[in-house]
Amino acid sequence: MPQTIDLRSDTVTKPSTAMLEAMTTAEVGDDVLGDDPTVIKLQERMARLFGKEAALYVPSGSMANQTAIKSQTESGDEIITHQDNHIYHYEGGAPAGLSGCSMRLLTGDNGQFTAKDVEAAIRPTDSHFPQSRLVVIENTHNRGGGSVWSLDRIREIHGVAREHDLRLHLDGARIWNACAVSGLPPADYAQYFDSVSACFSKGLGAPVGSAVMGDHDLIRRCHRYRKMFGGGMRQTGILAAAALFALDNNVDRLKTDHANAGKLARSLGEMPHLRIDPKSVESNILYFDLDANYMSAKELCDKMDSAGVRMLAIGPYRVRAVTHLDVSSNDIDHAIEIIGRIVRAR
């Protein structure tokens, strides 16, 4: 049976043989008791990479975001963020359920907003209103098509936030992709945020895990909430070793994923009934739309799946594809051939 080309997400990658070897030979301890040496090594490395005092390894990006939110807010506070951000759409209502926070949702192209948008959203200091407390930016932006925030725009938002005594959190699940596009190191982005999350199981190909970075007091609080949310694990060095391997081997190659996404976008843009602007594809995520009188996104995805290409229907006529380290340039060529055959057959 031909191998399936899985473009549903960059989370579908499998550990390589070398990564598995690093995991099985990792030195481990009890991370809940704070003595797993491989976890300690990973946390220290992440703190250095992001220019922060400390870091905490957690099971998922959602937990990284939610421990950071819980550590910087009180029940009844309001979070200012984009209406398409991951913390609002894909984390199970956690800001409300875990931290008792409401959301002030902003609009803007590609999942981004401006300093003026933030300033206009800040609540007056009045007991009738929720207290504006935290601004959250997602970089790269998933639902924004993998868009990359400019450092200038982040700097401007940071200025407004500080003027109004707001804290800032960076959902950097795919910050590695942003760095690959901009050429900037993680610390250049992180300097404007009180807390930062970063994922190892997306573009970097590790099977599990994220990290949250900040000052010592913030990470102490995150550690408590990790335990409260059920994220304390024992011999976690087995997983941390995969993250360390990914940092050593899978960061520089992200540009290959971006090139593959660009090639796929250009080819899709030349096919009948499909609509995409290839210039909008900045990193490894792309979205395309189908003509409403052609077929539904689900129908197309079902046809592709049967032919060996997997993508996600995320709306009636909208499809998402994500490139990653388990998809080669030749795989993209084959996917383009399959999709073209399906599209032109009707």
222 and 267, same domain (yes or no): no
Q: Is position 217 within any domain?
A: yes
293-336 pLDDT, tens digit per residue, is: 999 999 999 999 999 999 999 999 999 999 999 999 999 999 99
Q: The CATH number of the domain where 204 resides is what? A: 3.40.640.10
| Mean pLDDT on 191-202 | 98
Q: Check whether residue 197 and residue 89 sit in a common domain.
A: yes
Please tell me whether residues 88 and 189 are part of one structural domain: yes
Find out whether 261 and 280 touch, Cβ atoms under 8 Å.
Answer: no
What is the three-class DSSP state of 255?
A: helix
334 and 293 housed in the same domain? yes
Burial of 195 (0-12, 13-18, 19+ CB in 10 A): buried
CA angle 151, 55, 45 (to 5 degrees): 85
Residue 9 lies in a domain: no
For range 54-58, the mean pLDDT: 98
Q: Are residues 25 and 154 in the same domain?
A: yes
Q: Is residue 1 predicted with pLDDT exceeding 80?
A: no
Q: Is the pLDDT of residue 253 over 50?
A: yes
pLDDT at residue 214 greater than cutoff 60: yes
Is residue 12 domain-resident?
Answer: no
4 upstream amide cis, omega within 30 of 0: no
- Residue 304: give the domain boundaries: 253-344
Mean pLDDT of 115-121: 98
Together in a domain, 208 and 266: no
Q: Does pLDDT of 48 surpass 90? A: yes
Whether residue 262 has pLDDT greater than 70 = yes
Same domain, 220 and 328: no
What residue spans of the chain are helical by DSSP H? 17-24, 37-49, 61-72, 86-89, 94-99, 115-121, 151-163, 175-182, 186-190, 216-228, 237-249, 254-269, 297-307, 329-344
Q: Are residues 238 and 273 in the same domain?
A: no
Residue 4 forms part of a structural domain: no
Can you tell me the distance from the alpha carbon of 62 to that of 333, in angstroms, rounded to the nearest whole number? 34
**Residues 161 and 305 grouped into a single domain:** no
Region 117-138 average pLDDT? 97
Which CATH number is 283's domain given?
A: 3.90.1150.10
Overall pTM surpassing 0.85 (yes/no): yes
Tell whether the model's pLDDT for residue 201 goes beyond 60.
Answer: yes
Find the mean pLDDT for residues 29-35. Answer: 96
Residue 2 falls within a domain, yes or no? no
